Structure 1
Amino acid sequence: MAGAGVNRADDERPDAAPRFDDRRDLLRPLRLFGLFFRVGALNELQYRANLAVQLFQSGIALGTGLIVLGLVFGQTSNLGGWSQSELLAVMGVHILMGGIINSAIQPNMERLMTDVRQGTLDFILTKPEDAQVMISVREFRIWQAVDIVVGGIVLAIAVSQLQAGIGVGAALIFALTLFLGAVMIYCFWLLVTTAAFWVIRMDELHELFEGLYQSGRWPVTIYPGWLRISLTFLVPIGFAVTVPAEALTSRLTVETLALAAAFAAVLFLVTRWFWRFGLRHYSGASA
């Protein structure tokens, strides 16, 4: 039975201690991801009908977003200072980041919750790899990555409509902010999911996050101050969607970029600590 309340000595769980040090191969997490990606892709390619389903769902979501965008700009020339092409860039980032979440982040967090509930996390903790890395790269839903492609296409269209266009520097900064945003979303998911060590049933987490994530279809700057802060620092949707869009539309300031990098670093360290703290309170299947 999985759950909380029974502490186990650190030496009973060899993976409870952090595995990263200067001597470790820093590329090993990427190699593990590549291995699990190949296995997951081979499994999912057996069900190619899922591709058609995902294409249909992505098409519906994209069409709905474009209709709403058209309705908004049928009444005004800008929304909170954002032009139509700039909001199209926000939509593209939102779709692309959603593809990253649904293909790589959410599946691993859902499996972690299941493992904690069923006590099968022990199989991970006894392996000679860092537990956090293992639980973060085991699952990859390849068909969900369709949204990454769709988001990229929408972004390309948006950039082509921007008067100034973008240069190599802006593209690199965009890639950096997108990476930082993905790291922050991953940390948010893992922080919340780690609570499964104490709160066993968390079945509605996906629906809750999805509802919050939909607010990222629009720049967080259009929301009231309290909501803008909440969607930036409590649930880092602003950093994950609006900031990369600002990088593409020449709105991003050096201060915002520095804040995003600092917040991502702090959030990762806090998440790492909380994960290790949760492991010490995991009772396992033998409890």
Structure 2
Amino acid sequence: MQQALKHGLRVGRAVVAMALIREAQFRAQAWTTIIVGLVEVVAEVAPVLVIFSHSSRVNGWDAGLVIAIAGVAEVMTSLLATFIAPNQSKMTDYIRGGQLDLILIRPVASQPFAALRWVQPAEAWGVLTGTALTIIGLSASEVPVRPELIIAAVPGFLLGLVAVALVWTNLGYLAFWLTSVAALGELFSALLTAGKYPLAFFPRAVRVIMLSLLPLGLATTIPVQLLTGGVRPRLLLYGVGLVVLLAIITRVHWLAGMRRYSSASS
């Protein structure tokens, strides 16, 4: 077990190192990504200011907390764009072009390697801007933040992030059955914008979806509520259960796809 963990860490370091080398070769593109990220931060704040231009609170939320959620959503989106999106966009090519063969013959665990093989470091810039936006929003909020609840909020965010990543990964695995999943990936990327707003802004049915099938609320709204004492930390148990369930589904989905996969050499 320990040896496998060390091997996995070595593979992870190699993947990140290669990604940094690629980014260094395309510095102009990296700077463009960073500039676009800054513009997107401004674009995220503008709708919030419009919504609260005539009221100090909407559905129990003030402008500061909504900005904080937008910041957390920016962190989530950036991490997904860094580690998950570049791999899911290639899943169709892996399967239809036979490139999956090259992954399967490597001396590494094929499922996590296929899911995390490509990294886009420039997208990680949004983690900094999103964190700054979260701090600004919490500072401007009328609701006091209890620092000790950070211990619950950070794991809550990580659970939500992993849950969303697993859902996206399962969409990519549909390439074993469909000709292309590019449209599904684009649709999922568009749906991520819903995480920038509190769950209270949506109808009840949508809230249920955003806490289960598309757990954006678990990654954005819930962490902010944990920070402000809006929900109890025991909600983390639900997050753990959801992640475990999604992990099992993801593993079963991958194994089913492997049974269906026809090697390019066959």
TM range (shorter): over 0.9
Kept after mapping to 1: 8 A contact 2:172/2:185: no
Matched, 1:270 2:262: no
1:5 maps to what in 2? none
Matches within 5 A, 1:65-144: 65-144=44-123
TM-score where L is the length of structure 2: 0.93
1:244 maps to what in 2? 223
Deviation at 1:200, TM superposition (A): 2.2
Kept after mapping to 1: 8 A contact 2:88/2:185: no
The count of residues paired between Structure 1 and Structure 2 equals 265
Deviation at 1:186, TM superposition (A): 1.6
In structure 1, stretches of 5+ residues that fail to align are: 1-21
Two-structure CA RMSD over aligned residues (Å): 1.7
Determine what percentage of the aligned residue pairs are the same residue: 25
Kept after mapping to 2: 8 A contact 1:32/1:137: no
Moved more, 157-166 or 219-228: 157-166
- Name the CA distance, whole Å, in 2 between partners of 1:31 and 1:114: 26
Provide, for residues 158-192 of structure 1, a one-character-per-residue CA deviation record: whole Å limited to 9, x for no partner.
2333452332x322222211211121112101111
Matched, 1:157 2:136: yes
In structure 2, stretches of 5+ residues that fail to align are: none
1:199 maps to what in 2? 178
Deviation at 1:86, TM superposition (A): 0.9
Kept after mapping to 2: 8 A contact 1:116/1:197: yes
- Name the CA distance, whole Å, in 1 between partners of 2:49 and 2:203: 23
Kept after mapping to 1: 8 A contact 2:164/2:216: yes
Higher relative contact order (CA 8 A, sep 6+): 1
Kept after mapping to 1: 8 A contact 2:103/2:110: yes
1:225 maps to what in 2? 204
Moved more, 48-57 or 223-232: 48-57
Kept after mapping to 1: 8 A contact 2:68/2:133: yes
Kept after mapping to 2: 8 A contact 1:116/1:200: no
One-letter identity of the residue aligned with 1:259:
Y
1:3 maps to what in 2? none
Provide, for residues 52-102 of structure 1, a one-character-per-residue CA deviation record: whole Å limited to 9, x for no partner.
311221122111221111111111111211111111110110100010011
